[in-house]
């Protein structure tokens, strides 16, 4: 923990890149150890089912990667594929089946869904105890009131990276750029839980550069390529870049101008290799936690929040 590196005004005096890949590998290792112990002591192998509707290429890659990492952690990975023209009722029927399938501890419905399906309706049909994405309204509500919840993976990944880098975040000013239900709002809730003073900025925010300059912790989740400039970063701030933006044919960039940000920040997550790998690692962690909770088994210490 780096708490001793925080100066009196809340800044951190060290400069580095936050290696999300390495953090994620360590978390996956802990999940693997916990899965092995669960199998040995309780004869339980947690299972994660990914539901893919249609053939969006990015979703294909993501689902394949999830499957591979789930198996590598010693858990069971299932895939259910439906054609792009699937109707909402058919998808709801599948979700109902998975809710009742005892081999399935986690259900992940890959977004985006085709236009004819209301994602909200499908997500809220998932048994909240199996909602490993943490998007169900019951889990979102539990997070908002500080009750036990399955936490959404990307926001949870951001907080784990911050905890490792900073330690105690109490009293720090965190600015979140973006207010979506899957990233901006839940990450803001989690930062509040860490006792930060939280500002949520969005597309209607006035003078965004000035708001960002006040951040000890800056979370960029707007989905706008390199929108956040180096001189928007307070010297010594820790910057978590959630954005994934494709520029040109192949290149991926975040929401933050990385090189310029590094000149001011104490630490920045790169894109790729920052928050992205943490998202899948947190999904595996949630699946293991869901498997334990559903059976009344206590969650291993190494995977508690």
Would you name the residues annotated as active-site residues?
Answer: 66, 110, 133
Site residue total, ligand NAD (CB under 6 A): 25
Give the whole-angstrom CA distance, residue 184 versus residue 268: 18
| Own/partner pairs, 212-216, CB within 8 angstroms, 24+ separation | 212/175, 212/177, 214/173, 214/175, 215/173, 215/174, 215/175, 216/10, 216/11, 216/12, 216/172, 216/173, 216/174
Taking the complex as a whole, the smallest distance from the CB of residue 282 to ligand NAD amounts, in Å, to: 9
Peptide bond into 272 cis (omega under 30): yes
Q: Does 202 bind ligand NAD (CB under 6 A)?
A: yes
Residue pair 225/253 in contact (Cβ under 8 Å)? The answer is yes
What is the per-residue binding string for ligand NAD in 114-153, x denoting contact by CB under 6 A? ----------------------------------------
Does 182 contact ligand NAD by CB under 6 A?
A: yes
Q: Which of 184, 186, 236, 270 binds ligand NAD (CB under 6 A)?
A: 184
Task: State which residue, 183 or 292, has the beta carbon closest to ligand NAD.
Answer: 183
- Which lies closer to ligand NAD via its Cβ, residue 179 or residue 193? 179
By beta-carbon proximity to ligand NAD, the closer residue of 6 and 117 is: 117
Give the x-and-dash track for 208-237 against ligand NAD (CB under 6 A).
x------------xxxx--x----------
The stretch among 65-73, 78-86, 167-175, 240-248 that binds ligand NAD (CB under 6 A) is 240-248
Nearer to ligand NAD, 97 or 120 (CB): 120
270 sits near ligand NAD (criterion: CB under 6 A): no
Residues lying near ligand NAD in the complex (CB under 6 A) are found at: 154, 177-180, 182-184, 201-203, 205, 208, 221-224, 227, 242-245, 275-276, 279
């Amino acid at each position: 923990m780096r708490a001793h590196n925080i100066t009196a005004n809340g800044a951190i005096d060290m400069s580095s890149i936050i290696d999300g890949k390495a953090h994620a590998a360590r978390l996956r290792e802990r999940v693997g150890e916990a899965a092995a112990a669960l199998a040995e002591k309780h004869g339980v192998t947690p299972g994660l089912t990914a539901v893919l509707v249609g053939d969006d290429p990015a979703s294909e890659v993501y689902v394949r990667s999830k499957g591979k990492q789930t198996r590598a952690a010693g858990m069971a990975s299932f895939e259910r594929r439906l054609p792009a023209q699937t109707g909402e009722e058919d998808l709801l029927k599948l979700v109902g089946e998975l809710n009742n399938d005892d081999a399935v501890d986690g259900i992940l419905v890959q977004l985006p869904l085709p236009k004819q399906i209301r994602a909200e309706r499908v997500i809220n049909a998932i048994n909240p105890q199996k909602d490993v994405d943490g998007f169900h309204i019951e889990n979102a509500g539990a997070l908002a009131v500080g009750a036990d919840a399955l936490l959404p993976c990307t926001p949870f990944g951001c907080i784990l990276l911050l905890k490792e880098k900073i330690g105690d975040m109490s009293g720090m000013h965190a600015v979140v750029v973006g207010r979506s239900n899957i990233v901006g709002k839940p990450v803001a809730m989690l930062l509040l839980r860490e006792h930060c003073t939280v500002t949520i900025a969005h597309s209607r925010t006035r003078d965004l550069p000035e708001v960002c300059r006040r951040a000890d912790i800056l979370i960029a989740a707007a989905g706008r390529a390199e929108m956040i400039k180096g001189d928007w970063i307070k010297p010594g701030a820790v910057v978590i870049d959630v954005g994934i933006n494709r520029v040109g044919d192949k290149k991926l960039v975040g929401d933050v101008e990385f090189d310029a940000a590094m000149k001011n920040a104490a630490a920045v997550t790169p894109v790729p290799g920052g928050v992205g790998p943490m998202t899948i690692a947190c999904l595996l962690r949630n699946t293991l936690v869901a498997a334990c909770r559903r059976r009344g088994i206590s969650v291993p210490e190494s995977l508690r929040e």
